Amino acid sequence: MAYNKLIDHTLLKADAKYEDVQKLCEEARQFDFMSVCVNPHFISTCKKLLKGSDVKVCTVIGFPLGQTLTSVKIYETEQAIKAGADEIDMVINISNLKAGRDDLIKEEIAGIKRACDGRILKVIIETCLLTDEEKERVCRIAVSAGADFVKTSTGFSTGGATEADVSLMRKVVGPHIGVKASGGVRSLEDVEKMVKAGATRIGTSGGVKIMSGEQLAPGKY
């Protein structure tokens, strides 16, 4: 199986340089990845660099903590779309989930989905901070709010994707929306395990090495 079209080639470091983003886009073109995933600041740059290719530009909203106001997340999404984003990865408000404020989470996801104006929305639930019950609950909320994907992790918290979490998320959402495994995917073997568990998208900064059959050193990807 060709895994390149499952990969969101990712660069979300705070100190990312323009030359790093240029390299990211060159690699994405070379390997024909599904998308590059960058902070909103770099959307327009990536759009220009990827012109003429079918590589999408994905960006993150409320990243990485999910604690900005819903109105701000919606505005950020609107501006990201105007800048050229093709896909949106948003972070839920975990505090609301822990407090049982499911209505607020659903309202926020639905509002951001409307702001996406038909574009793909992935909902980052940050599995490493949740109980299994919370993972199941937020996955159901995401489905009911119209999300296109649920995503394991930001890659900036205490842990990344696990086979168990991907399997649980797939079981809850069923076959109708995507599951993105992100954080700690370091080898082709990891990708294969995540896909077998139910992932339909992989977020990693190590896409080139993965496609080349290399093993990445431990870290956040």
**If you count them, how many residues does the chain have?**
221
Say which of 135, 151, 165, 220 is annotated catalytic: 151
Beta strands in 68-184 (DSSP E): 87-91, 120-124, 149-151, 178-182
Could you confirm whether 47 is annotated as catalytic? no
Could you confirm whether 209 is annotated as catalytic? no
C-alpha Rg value of the chain to the nearest Å = 16
For tokens 């050229």, the residue is 84
Say which of 56, 106, 113, 180 is annotated catalytic: 180
Q: Whole-angstrom Cα distance, residue 153 to residue 206?
A: 16
Could you confirm whether 180 is annotated as catalytic? yes
At 61, the amino acid letter reads I
For tokens 């984003």, the residue is 85
Q: Are 8 and 33 in contact (CB under 8 A)?
A: yes
Written as six digits, the tokens of 68 are 């900005």
Say which of 86, 89, 148, 190 is annotated catalytic: 89
Q: Whole-angstrom Cα distance, residue 17 to residue 10?
A: 13
Indicate the angle between helix axes 132-144 and 163-173, nearest 10 degrees. 40
**Helices vs strands, H then E, count in the chain:** 9, 8
Q: Which residues are catalytic?
A: 89, 151, 180
